[in-house]
């Protein structure tokens, strides 16, 4: 009796694996054309230098870039902590 139950269990596991493969292949066939369309779009023109090179060099040489990064991170952490419910804004 346990051999039959073991056989049914293994068959069900195999059926579940096959159904998963079918679903994943269907999803991949849906996303395949979208992926090829997105890869054909050029992204070279989307990049814009935010800070000119001479200013970036001065920021790096004076250590100002690290200071701005620390301040921005502190502001992000403060905003995140104040977004917790039941915490008063502006404290």
CA gap 16, 22 in Å, rounded = 10
Domain that holds residue 66: 44-90
24 in the same domain as 48 = no
The total of structural domains in the chain comes to 2
CA angle 28, 32, 35 (to 5 degrees): 125
pLDDT given at position 57: 87
Residues making up the chain, counted from first to last: 91
CB 82 within 8 A of CB 91: yes
- Give the pLDDT confidence of 2-51 residue by residue, as tens digits: 889 999 999 999 999 999 999 999 999 988 888 888 888 877 667 777 88
3 in the same domain as 34 = yes
CA angle 43, 45, 48 (to 5 degrees): 110
48 in the same domain as 36 = no
54 in the same domain as 82 = yes
């Amino acid at each position: 009796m346990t051999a039959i139950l073991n056989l049914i269990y293994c068959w069900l596991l195999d059926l579940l694996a096959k159904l998963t493969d079918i679903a994943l292949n269907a999803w991949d066939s849906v996303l395949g054309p979208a992926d090829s369309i997105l890869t054909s779009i050029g992204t070279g023109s989307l990049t814009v230098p935010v800070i000119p090179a001479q200013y970036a060099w001065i920021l790096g040489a004076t250590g100002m870039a690290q200071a701005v990064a620390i301040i921005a991170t502190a502001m992000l952490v403060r905003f995140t902590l104040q977004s917790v419910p039941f915490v008063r804004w502006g404290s």
